[in-house]
Amino acid sequence: ADMLDPLAQKLADAAARLPQLEEGNVDAARAFREERGNPFAPVSCDLANISDHEICLAESAILG
């Protein structure tokens, strides 16, 4: 348990240095992400097309 306290403090310090998304704008968030990367993101690719689909049900519709 002694090893968790310094690690938790290091994590808290790092989180405090990060800009909050609510305080920034979209362009700043994108630049931040592009600069640092995201190891969990899928490989980027070009899309052939994007289309909307609607499924009509008895009382409502589902957009997808």
* Phi, psi at 27, each rounded to 5°: -65, -40
DSSP states of 25-61: -HHHHHHHHHHH--TTSPPP---S-----EEE-SS-E
What is the total count of domains within the chain?
1
pLDDT: is 2 or 55 the higher one? 55
Token pair listed for 17: 């240095």
Task: Note the pLDDT tens digit of each residue in 5-23.
Answer: 888 888 888 888 877 767 7
pLDDT of residue 63: 65
pTM of the model: 0.33
Which residues are 55's β-sheet partners? Answer: 62
Q: By residue range, what is the domain housing residue 37?
A: 4-63
pLDDT: is 25 or 2 the higher one? 25
In the chain, the N- to C-terminal Cα span, in Å, equals 47
pLDDT of residue 24: 77
Q: What's the chain's average pLDDT?
A: 78
